[in-house]
Amino acid sequence: MQLSKINSAIAETLPAVESINGVAIATVEETIKEIGFASQKESAKIVKSKDELARLNANLLGWIAQLDAEGKVMRFPDNHKLTPKKVIPIKYDDFMIIRGFYVGAAYDAGAVSIDAAEKVWEAAIKELATEAGYTRPKSDDKDAVRMAENRVKLIEKHAPDSDDVLIEKKEAALKVGDNKSVSLVKEINNELARREKPELDKAQKARAVTRDAIIARAKELCKAGTDDADELLISGLLAMTK
């Protein structure tokens, strides 16, 4: 790919000035280009690191999810009250054992503290929840079970009402303002957030697909190294800088 063609195309979009902050524009250009060049090199390392983390997370999922006879990840049915279509996790105790192994290894690998190692684990689980629909297993602790049962009851309680009806009930409760009404408002807010989450997750996944498609196409054009490919890259760059 001809760097001069790209630089010329970018330059055409910039205003003409003699200096920036009292520094000659030629010096500014040279310095910023050095920074940009080095930044791209580091960004490439980050992209490669993200790809490797995605591979490792996919491997981890195979250990913390229930698998069928063919070794495929199992999911809850579409009509599951709390987590429809989500990945079915392994038992809570087994999950915590794997967590302990993972955190210990992350600490041995250079994490500055156990807390930092735990954050690496949490980041992996959060990524799997977003990208793969993973759900953490529930503790068998009596309080945890009771809380889970209460969540199911609240979902069933508000199930007959549409979002609009729930919003109307919340507005009415806010006008009353007593403790019972405040509690109802919290319930409704939680239920509305629960209903909205699948759509938010879906939208985020769609953005990720678009991002990956753009990156893949840009790599193809760079590899081609033709004038047509350069023009497509320049057009795409200019479109995204408007």
Q: Which amino acid is at 104?
A: G
Confidence check: pLDDT of 109 > 70? yes
Residues 31-36 have a mean pLDDT of 79
Confidence check: pLDDT of 8 > 70? no
Of the pLDDT bands very low, low, confident and very high (cuts 50, 70, 90), residue 148 is low
Residue 12 vs residues 8, 9, 16, 48, 58: alpha-carbon distances, Å:
6, 5, 9, 32, 44
How far apart (Å, rounded) are the C-alpha atoms in residues 170 and 189?
A: 8
Confidence check: pLDDT of 144 > 80? no
Residues 227-240 have a mean pLDDT of 79
Residues 128-148 have a mean pLDDT of 77
Paired tokens of 32: 């910023």
Which one, of 51, 100, 94, 99, lies nearest residue 216 by Cα? 51
Residues 201-228 have a mean pLDDT of 78
Share of the chain above pLDDT 90, in %: 16
Residues 205-228 have a mean pLDDT of 79
Q: Which residue has the higher pLDDT, 18 or 242?
A: 18
How far apart (Å, rounded) are the C-alpha atoms in residues 145 and 138?
A: 8
Confidence check: pLDDT of 125 > 90? yes
Confidence check: pLDDT of 3 > 60? no
